[in-house]
Structure 1
Amino acid sequence: MNKNRFSFALIMVGAFLSVLNQTLMSTALPGIMRAFHITTAQGQWLNNGYLLINALMIPTTAYLIKRFTTRQLYLTASLIFIVGSLIGAIATVYPVLIVGRMIQALGAGIVIPLVNVVVMMSTKPTERGAAMGVVGLALNLAPVLGPTVSGVILVKLSWRYLFGLTLPLMLLDALLAWRFLKDVGEQRQQPLDRKGLVLSGLGLALALYSFSNVGETAFLSFKGIVPLVVGAVLLAWFVKCQWTRDYPLLNLHVFRYRQFNLPLIINMLLMVTMYGNSVIIPVLVQNVFHRSAVISGLTLLPGSVLTAIISPLSGRFYDRYNFRRMVISGLCIDMTGSLLLSSTGPGASIGFVILGQTIRQLGLVLVLIPIQTHAWSMLPTPMIPDGVAVYNTLRQVAASFGTALLVAIISITASGQFHWSMNSQLVGIKFSYLSSTLMVGICVILGLQLHKSYAEPIATEHYATPDPSEKKVTPGVRGLTSHFK
């Protein structure tokens, strides 16, 4: 890993900037809504559109990482991200702004899983926790740091400068990568599963569209239920095709490993609460307490500092200590913070919100890195790229749907159909945090079943990608049937 340290650092910087963009716009959302005269449900597409494109791109990374060199893949992704930043910075109408964000997400969807695969494939199993802790410093710090940085910038400058912040940094990183980045791993020839790509893309897009309309229309309306049903059918078709296809876009046989599935479900539930919170906090501080954007950004700062300090340590703890106890402890801390925030009243202080948010972030950072490292370590090494792709895809999908769900709770509550003794948006926020508490409680139950039980060694050739000229051969699945009988 030492010889690839600088290459790893370059990719990690790109991953940090990519994840930063997922929440950088959260604090600016109220201002953007006023500038373009859009609703909250429309405005959330700044985040949901970004997360959705990430989710669509990540499944292809298992194929791309095998097909292209690390250098080719990273430079291409960086260039796409830079183009998207330029479009967003000069956008004069809201649809163009969304297009810029989605182009950014195309590049980010490649970079984020790339850094994970490089680390997992370049380190020993006993050192993966420490290495992933360093990655976690970037991937877990960025989502909570984004609103804080955004709030500071928006005090004096326009939201357009948020694109200008990441653009030169990514450009500099790409130039350094062009000069110094080294390749990791070997390339293989494998055809792209275009059918799987189309089915997953359309299915996810339709399902998310349905959830994003919850705040504006009744869920059981034509606009709400039809896209969801069609999307679900397409996704079911996608799963069926992937399970039996000779060259699947995603090797779904990773789901045969229980100790991969449990962390995956826990992570998805936590992503719902984490990314939904990045939208809830600005609404609470700015619309309910009528404080400035910088205050809403600074509300997340203590949690950001804790994340920076503890992320590397939590990875090392996975290598050295009983990680199940640490995961359960972190989840209980997260529940405590969520319950505190659910009790927020009209007269609550900003300090109370900061306390609840900081407690939540402390719990999350103790959980996210260990369960992620655990999930991938439980797979045979040749299946790690597929495991990373599946894990990150569902992580992003959960973040997209979770944000839509929690925003919908606030929108429905504030729609005027209910009469409360306090601000209707505040009531919706309280319900959102109670929902988050329930989801974390489910995670505790699942966390009790975690244990280190490494997959039995399977011959590497069983997972090798075959020559495309071979007939009737299933890559990544050969030997699996007999192994699991």
Structure 2
Amino acid sequence: MEAQIKVRSPKLMAFVLMAGAFIGLFSETALNMALTNIMDEFSVTAPIAQWLTTGYLLVLAILVPISAFLVRWFTTRQLVVAGLILSLIGALLAALSPNFTILLLGRIVQAIGTGIIIPVMNIVVLMIFPVNKRGVVMGVMGLVITTAPAIGPTIAGFIISALSWNWIFWIVALFYVVLLVFGSSKMDNTSEITKPGIDILSILLSTIGFGGVIYALSMMAENALTSAVVWVPAVVGIVALILFSVRQMKMEQPMINLRVFKIPMFTLGTIIMFLGILTILAAGILLPIYLKGALLVTAAVAGLILLPGNAVNVILAPIVGGLFDKSGGRAKGLVMFGAIFVVIGALIFALTLSATTPKWLVIVAFIIFFFGISFVMMPSQTNAMNNLPREFYADGAAAMNTLNQVAGAAGTAIAITLFTAGQKSFMAENPTGSVTEMLAAGTQHAFVFIAGIAVLIFIASLLVKNPKKQ
């Protein structure tokens, strides 16, 4: 396998990138614990409030495809500094927001910064470490990708209880300032600046495509499938994505080289990552609402209930990376093992959630769920990227990260849609039911879908092939 690119301090460089990405991904879901507070303060409904998460993810889904283009136009340092500054501006806007519109605007600006940092992290880490060290490094990077959005509600719960939801952004802004002051000078360039032509049509098609599909999914929470606000953007988005794909295959210098999907193990690994992120973000928005609304616990207690599962993921991610390295990059066994636990955890939620479910059972189910996720995500991602030649790293990272953000946005939107549908169904059958029972029924209804996705992850794990030689 090819040698890595030499930089002054690969570990410090990787740390700065991972820290920036961690803060951005943490911000994806940090407001989930505060949605009920924000709904009360700004007088908005759950489907509207969820745009604080869905909108963030939607911007990432739109921006990340452009990353493969950006890394060929700007140096690593320029992109990292720009990403951190935009993230800082967005966090400050959100912290100072006097109304919901400004809060959403701040989220969008912060998402633009995060959308620059994440793909740069993926590309740089692959280039500055040798292949025999990638398992541990990608394990830590996988820790960032999965733990940051998962632990967001937990940490936010403590912040909200002690201070207010605005302080989530003040604290995030402080971290961005520290990274800008101490980390930006440590960035060495790792990309080849070729300055390819700007294909405006590709950018427009990808923006309309991903934007249309995610918007349609989000509108399903309050509207029927036959409603124009659902099917029109869905159709427009799908047509735009088809045209985008056709155009990329015909271009000599595509925005994203979709030929990476001709490599079977990259495609399969990306699918598993997509399904995994979808379940993480769906659970991430449902459980805080369930814990606070149905079990009537405080934000701090809700955070404590989710903490053990997140802790398991933090502990296991680098361990799984080490196991992956020691096995010579054999991902199949690890992914299958993890997928079984993901299914078990999701099924416990789907079968037992109610207004009277004991808190210990939620804790156990969440631990089992994230125990499995730890074994699924890193080996799938590393195996997928290891199957690509170096010249496809930027394209592969852009394609995978784009679909990861689409998965997060789709998971959030679908979860809220099914949550709302479950509540309506419960109230139709139980008109005298309590609010806590209604919220629990909505959450349980949505977890049936998550359990189904978990089964698909297990089926996909059976198709993973180990490399014949490392």
Q: TM-score range by the shorter chain?
A: over 0.9
Q: Within the alignment, does 1:425 sit opposite 2:439 as a pair?
A: yes
Aligned position for 1:174: 180
Q: Is the 8 A contact 1:77 1:110 kept in 2?
A: yes
Distance 2:291 2:359 in 1: 8
Partner of 1:262: 268
Matched, 1:404 2:418: no
Amino acid across the alignment from 1:335: V
Residue in structure 2 matched with residue 326 of structure 1 by the alignment: 334
Partner-residue secondary structure (3-state), 2:429: coil
Q: Structure 1 residue 315: deviation in Å?
A: 1.3
- How far 1:175 moved relative to its partner? 1.1
Distance in 1, matches of 2:468 and 2:263, equals 10
Q: Deviations over 1:367-409 (max 9, x none)?
A: 1111000111111121011000000000110110111111101
Question: C-alpha displacement at 1:438, in angstroms?
Answer: 1.4
Equivalent pair of 1:250/1:389 in contact (CA under 8 Å): yes
How do 1:379-458 and structure 2 match up within 5 A?
Answer: 379-415=388-424, 418-420=428-430, 423-453=437-467
| Whole-angstrom CA distance in 2 between matches of 1:194 and 1:315 | 39
Distance 2:468 2:218 in 1: 40
Structure 1 residue 17: deviation in Å? 0.7
Selected match of 1:64 from 50, 55, 70: 70
1:144 aligned counterpart, secondary structure: helix
C-alpha distance in structure 2 between counterparts of 1:143 and 1:104, whole Å: 15
- Note the C-alpha offset of 1:211: 1.2
**Partners in 1 of 2:207 and 2:149 — Cα distance?**
24
Q: CA deviation at 1:59?
A: 0.8
Contact 2:142–2:378 (Cα < 8 Å) also in 1: yes
TM-score of the aligned structures, taking structure 2 as reference length:
0.94
8 Å CA contact 1:379, 1:454 repeated in 2: no
**Residues 454 and 234 of structure 1: is their aligned pair in 2 closer, same or farther, counting only changes over 3 Å?**
farther
- Aligned partners of 2:121, 2:218: CA distance in 1, in Å? 30
Structure 1 residue 159: deviation in Å? 1.0
Residue 40 in structure 1 maps to residue 36 in structure 2: no
- Is 1:237 equivalent to 2:246 in the alignment? no
Question: Would you identify which runs of 4 or more consecutive aligned residues in structure 1 move more than 4 Å?
Answer: none
- Which residue in the other structure is 1:106 paired with? 112
SS at match of 1:192: coil
**Unaligned ranges ≥5, structure 2:** 1-5
Q: Do 2:146 and 2:277's aligned partners in 1 also have CA atoms closer than 8 Å?
A: no
How far off is 1:451 after superposition?
A: 1.3
The AA in structure 2 aligned to 1:158 is: S
The secondary structure found in structure 2 opposite 1:121 is helix
Aligned residue pairs total: 456
SS, match of residue 127 in structure 2: helix
Equivalent-residue separation in structure 2 for 1:330 and 1:178 (angstroms): 37
Contact 1:117–1:388 (CA<8 Å) still a contact in 2?
yes
Aligned partner of 1:354 among 345, 350, 363 = 363
> What is the aligned counterpart of 2:26 among 20, 25, 34?
20
* CA offsets 1:153-179 (integer angstroms, 9 cap, x no match): 111312111110110111110111233
Task: Write the deviation string for residues 305-346 of structure 1: whole angstroms up to 9, x where unpaired.
Answer: 111111111112222224211111101011111111112233
Query: Deviations for 1:17-52, whole angstroms, at most 9, x for unmatched residues?
Result: 111111111101110011111111111111111111
Per-residue deviation, 1:145:
1.6
Identity %: 30
Once the two structures are superposed, residues 397-431 of structure 1 have per-residue CA deviations (whole angstroms, 9 ceiling, x without a partner) of 01101111111011112236631477232222222
Q: Which deviates further from its counterpart, 444-453 or 146-155?
A: 444-453
Quote the residue 2:3 is aligned against. none
1:87 correspondence with 2:93: yes
Asked whether the equivalents of residues 377 and 454 of structure 1 are also in contact (C-alpha less than 8 Å), the reply is no
What does the per-residue CA deviation read over 1:36-94, in whole Å, with 9 as the maximum and x for residues that have no partner? 11111111111111111111111111111122111111001111111111111111111
Is the aligned partner of 1:372 residue 2:378? no
- Give the deviation of 1:185 after TM superposition: 3.5
CA contact (8 A) 1:48 1:400 kept: yes
Using the alignment, how far apart are the partners of 2:300 and 2:106 within structure 1?
24
Residues in 2 aligned to 1:6 and 1:32: alpha-carbon distance in whole angstroms? 37
Which amino acid counterpart does residue 401 of structure 1 have in structure 2? A
Please report the RMSD computed on the Cα atoms of aligned residues, expressed in angstroms.
1.7
The Cα of 1:454 is off from its aligned counterpart by 7.7
1:414-453, Cα deviation, whole Å (9 max, x unpaired): 2366314772322222222221111111111111111134
Q: Give the aligned residue type for 1:356.
A: A
CA distance in 2, matches of 1:198, 1:264: 24
Question: Which of 280, 284, 303 is residue 278 of structure 1 equivalent to?
Answer: 284
Give yes or no for the alignment of 1:212 onto 2:218. Answer: yes
The corresponding residue for 1:133 is 139
Contact 1:379 1:455 in 2 (8 A): no
Q: Which amino acid aligns with 2:274?
A: M
Q: Which runs of 5+ in 1 are unaligned?
A: 457-485
Matches of 1:377 and 1:452, distance apart in 2: 11
Distance in 2 (alpha carbons) for counterparts of 1:405 and 1:144: 17
The Cα shift of 1:216 comes to 0.9
**Aligned twin of 1:337:** 345
Q: Quote the Cα distance in structure 1 between the aligned partners of 2:264 and 2:469.
A: 10
Residues in 2 aligned to 1:178 and 1:426: alpha-carbon distance in whole angstroms: 46
Question: Contact conserved, 1:58 with 1:389, CA < 8 A, in 2?
Answer: yes
Residues 213 and 219, structure 1, Cα contact 8 Å, conserved in 2: no
Tell me the distance in 2 between the aligned counterparts of 1:330 and 1:180.
Answer: 36
